[in-house]
Structure 1
């Protein structure tokens, strides 16, 4: 039996629309983001990919996306909230406009912190953190918000999610994972065994289902997955790259 792994980045959030580093700020979807999520659900339906399992980040923008997909498809499955899928902690970049960050840091450091596997932003100023609605998951393995994470840190925390999902997918299930630009970049790094260079250039568009077929051998195919709407997905990914990347 061949199952399917579907990765879905949440729809547009209010911080995405403002072009700010979001990270652990727990923002909501815009109206456009809600409609993007429902369109993603329709793409899944048209492709015959009705999820048997839905794993979602517990952050509001991901939860709202997962609920919109469930409602649009009239699913009766429970949403499984997984703290490991929480977005990357951007440390001192959190809440900062991306253009401002690029100007302050310079292009080389901006790319290093934003795009590479090991770039690690410093901690967020507590005075700034006090004015932000930062997501916390007390009792889980998630570090307190504001400390900062490299993408490799996120890779290490999402890796067990792939182990859990693969067990279901290899049995023939359709597993939908709803999360964020960087927690899903990290998931792709695990699923596809991406090199540092491939990670650098990977951008995931909002609300565009990315599908892998996974047979009994547990190997996801094709490498890199396939988008259900490739023309739109690649155009949006290119736009994201021009803005500095996911």
Structure 2
């Protein structure tokens, strides 16, 4: 009998040791729901397709001993694909020295994106209008948020682009100004990269905090030690205190 009791005790101890710590599975589910709502906000607010900023670049060439100056202008630009932002790896809890959850982080990704510009080039009174087509081979971003225990909500502290894939640019219609092809390509790449980085770190960052501030932790609350029900009871009690 004593032998059996020892086996039971050993099994119980084994279960205690093997009991899992709060898993990132619930956090992944929470993060995926956050991303779905961000995608909706991106679409509803007109950022997919997003309007690209106008831009221009000057150039020059010597013709018959005379230096001529020209300009290539980009306008009517758009970019499609920002609403593809999604979680690419496991979301992770950020913990303090006492192993308490104080935040979360996640690697995010952008799927392939497409864009278009109209280009007007002016040189020696020539003004061809060219089509500029772009294909962007996705990108990646890093997200980090702090857990606010007074509200039981996360708040984004960081959302920044860490990588933008290769940007393929095809231009048709330059005609005799084909020699400015690389000049226009460099302008397009610089503008599109800057636009994606700025939009993610400002517009999509703001959308993220809108979503986080309106989304309860739900099943994640007990895991991170923040119970919205208790918080509500405390507020109710405080409001009734004379």
TM-score, normalised to structure 1, is: 0.25
Larger relative contact order (CA 8 Å, sep ≥ 6) = 1
Which structure has the larger Rg?
2
TM-score, normalised to structure 2, is: 0.26
Question: Greater strand share, 1 or 2?
Answer: 2
